């Protein structure tokens, strides 16, 4: 059975709406110091952001005349890592501490643009970008699992304990997720969307009763 284009568009919007609701709940949990639960919800919110982007792509295909089946919708949206990959709207580095990445970021700040030194540092950072983009979806799924479940470690010597989730790790996870959600909803401001994607703007404009998207909210820090 084929899914109509307008049904796919509604599903995309509802997924983005759910992303916003989950992030607001995650921030509330963080503010109550329930750090692991906040991380688990924030990463589920990312999956809903990924679902939004998958469904918008399927909507485009349906508008273009392709028959999109219920089975295809479910298959495209089924995998956790795939949804995390689709939700990757930015790459964030933090330069605290030591290590190669922190050293490179500090060196680029000090280097003069257009110099060979700067270009060499920039190329090394781009290589790290490519590695991070490839690994981050699976890493985020793994983090979500660690935030939710007690599990034995690979050596059989200790346990993963969600209640021990560090506050700073939780804060970084939430801030990054909220920022990506903000980026996505900013792109849906109707004037900007008309310039970036006129067909999507027209379709959303024609849907007059769509629910409002929750406003982004950052955790207390």
Residues 186, 192: contact at Cβ < 8 Å? yes
In the predicted model, is pLDDT for residue 218 greater than 80? yes
In three-state secondary structure terms, 65 is coil
Asked which of 12-26, 112-126, 135-149, 194-208 is least confident by mean pLDDT, the reply is 112-126
Q: Give mean pLDDT, residues 188-206.
A: 92
Predicted confidence at residue 105, as pLDDT, reads 76
Place of tokens 């983090």: 143
- Top-confidence residue, 174 or 133: 174
Average pLDDT along the chain:
91
Predicted confidence at residue 114, as pLDDT, reads 80
Instruction: Write out pLDDT tens, residues 78-132.
Output: 999 999 999 988 877 766 656 777 778 777 777 888 888 888 887 888 887 788 8
Predicted confidence at residue 134, as pLDDT, reads 87
> For the chain, how many helices (H) and strands (E)?
9, 2
Asked which of 18-22, 37-41, 130-134 is least confident by mean pLDDT, the reply is 130-134
Helix pair angle (5-31, 198-206), 10° resolution: 90
In the predicted model, is pLDDT for residue 159 greater than 90? yes
Instruction: Write out pLDDT tens, residues 175-186.
Output: 999 999 999 999
67: left (phi over 0), alpha (psi -120 to 50) or beta: beta
Asked which of 1-15, 42-56, 125-139 is least confident by mean pLDDT, the reply is 125-139
Predicted confidence at residue 191, as pLDDT, reads 86
CA angle 93, 213, 186 (to 5 degrees): 45
Q: Which residues does residue 69 pair with via DSSP β-bridges, in sequence order?
A: 2
Contacts 24+ apart (CB under 8 A), 137-143: 137/81, 137/82, 137/84, 137/85, 137/88, 138/81, 138/84, 140/43, 140/46, 140/84, 141/43, 141/80, 141/81, 141/84, 143/39, 143/43, 143/173
Predicted confidence at residue 104, as pLDDT, reads 80
Q: Give mean pLDDT, residues 187-198.
A: 90
pLDDT band at 147 (very low <50, low <70, confident <90, very high): very high
Predicted confidence at residue 98, as pLDDT, reads 64
């Amino acid at each position: 059975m084929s899914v109509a284009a307008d049904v796919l568009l509604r599903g995309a919007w509802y997924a983005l709406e759910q992303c916003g609701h989950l992030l607001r709940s995650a921030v509330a949990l963080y503010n109550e110091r329930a750090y692991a639960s906040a991380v688990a919800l924030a990463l589920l919110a990312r999956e809903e952001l990924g679902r939004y982007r998958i469904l918008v792509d399927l909507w485009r295909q349906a508008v273009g005349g392709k028959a999109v089946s219920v089975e295809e919708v479910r298959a495209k949206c089924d995998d956790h890592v795939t949804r995390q990959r689709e939700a990757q709207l930015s790459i964030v580095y933090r330069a605290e501490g030591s290590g190669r990445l922190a050293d490179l970021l500090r060196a680029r700040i000090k280097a003069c643009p257009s110099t060979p030194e700067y270009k060499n540092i920039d190329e090394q950072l781009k290589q790290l970008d490519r590695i991070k983009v490839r690994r981050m979806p699976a890493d985020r799924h793994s983090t979500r699992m660690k935030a939710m479940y007690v599990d034995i470690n690979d050596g059989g010597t200790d346990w993963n304990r969600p209640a021990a989730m560090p506050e700073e790790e939780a804060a970084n996870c939430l801030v990054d997720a909220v920022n990506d959600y903000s980026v996505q909803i900013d792109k849906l401001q109707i004037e900007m969307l008309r310039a970036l994607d006129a067909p999507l703007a027209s379709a959303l404009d024609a849907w007059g009763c769509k629910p409002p998207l929750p406003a982004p909210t950052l955790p207390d820090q």
